Amino acid sequence: MEVSVVVAVKDEAGAIGGLIAEIIGALGPGNGYEVIIIDDGSSDGTVGVVRGVQAGEPRLHLLRHRRNHGQSAAVRTGVRSARGRLVVTLDGDGQNDPADIPRLLAAYRAAGEPGVRLVTGRRARRQDTLIKRLSSRVANTVRSWVLNDQSRDSACGLKVIDRDVFLRLPYFNHMHRFLPALVRREGFEVLAVDVNHRPRRSGASKYGTWDRLSAGVIDLAGVAWLQARRSAPEIVEP
């Protein structure tokens, strides 16, 4: 199996059924992939919806956290259980478009640079509120300046990453927002591909502007600390 699609969800009963159908439609027939849904402590009918789809879809797997641990923890749970060499991540609210998955996979496979281990989506036209777009623009500018990660949209949930490389990265809460910087820290290259972004059709965002800002400042300082202490020994012939 080459590809595992990992989707972290919390209270997305209104979106997850349609999203799963779109993912399977985008990837087509065959058994070369799996879809892993990680329920991160939902209190609505999310689990029931996924189980209903799972009854007729053997490529769909459900994992559950007893309580909410956050998106990074849920994604990590999914990646650790994944069987594919490549992992596709996307948000569970339906704003990432599964139709873009084949293009990101094609970009990864066609990369001329053998060191590429992450292809990240770059939302061309954000379908969010004005305050969310502005706060994201400021955060991306500051993060790029501090970390020099060469990424204009580090927080886009749609990504293709080598599973083994992901599991080598230092884990911390909110790490999913810093994957380009963390992958570059390991000595690999990152590609960005413009992707579609859609309005949220149901449910509510799990992040507040001030919550995101306060956590982001601390996380940014932590990732900068990791970068400053990176050591990459060069192995020579005996």
Instruction: Note the pLDDT of residue 164.
Output: 96
Instruction: Note the pLDDT of residue 223.
Output: 83
121 neighbors 104 (Cβ within 8 angstroms): yes
Residue 237 lies in a domain: no
Residue 57 lies in a domain: yes
Instruction: Note the pLDDT of residue 189.
Output: 93
- Provide the sign of the torsion angle of the four alpha carbons 210, 169, 6, 188, taken in this order: positive
Residue 103 lies in a domain: yes
Taking CA atoms, 117 is separated from 1, 108, 164, in Å, by 18, 8, 10
Q: Which domain holds residue 29?
A: 3-228
Could you please report the per-residue DSSP string of the chain? --EEEEEEESS-TTTHHHHHHHHHHHH-SSSSEEEEEEEES--SSHHHHHHHHHTT-TTEEEEEESS---HHHHHHHHHHH--SSEEEEEETTS-B-GGGHHHHHHHHHH-SSTTEEEEEEEESS--S-HHHHHHHHHHHHHHHHHH----S-TT-S-EEEEHHHHHHSPP-TTGGGGHHHHHHHTT-EEEEEEE-B----SS--S--HHHHHHHHHHHHHHHHHHHHT---PPP---
Residue of 9, 90, 77 whose CA lies nearest to 43: 9
CA separation for the pair 112, 115 (Å, rounded): 9
CA dihedral 93, 96, 98, 101 (to 10 degrees): -140
Kindly report the CATH number assigned to the domain that includes residue 14: 3.90.550.10
Instruction: Note the pLDDT of residue 237.
Output: 77
CA separation for the pair 39, 65 (Å, rounded): 6
Instruction: Note the pLDDT of residue 6.
Output: 98
What count of residues does the chain have? Answer: 238
Instruction: Note the pLDDT of residue 128.
Output: 58
Residue 235 lies in a domain: no
Residue 18 lies in a domain: yes
Q: How many CB atoms lie within 10 A of CB 144?
A: 17
Instruction: Note the pLDDT of residue 131.
Output: 64
Instruction: Note the pLDDT of residue 221.
Output: 83
Residue 155 lies in a domain: yes
182 neighbors 151 (Cβ within 8 angstroms): no
Residue 236 lies in a domain: no
For the chain, which ranges sit under pLDDT 70? 112-113, 126-145, 203-215
Give the model confidence (pLDDT) of 181-212 as tens digits.
999 999 999 999 999 988 877 766 655 554 55
35 neighbors 1 (Cβ within 8 angstroms): no
Please state the domain count of the chain. 1
Instruction: Note the pLDDT of residue 134.
Output: 62
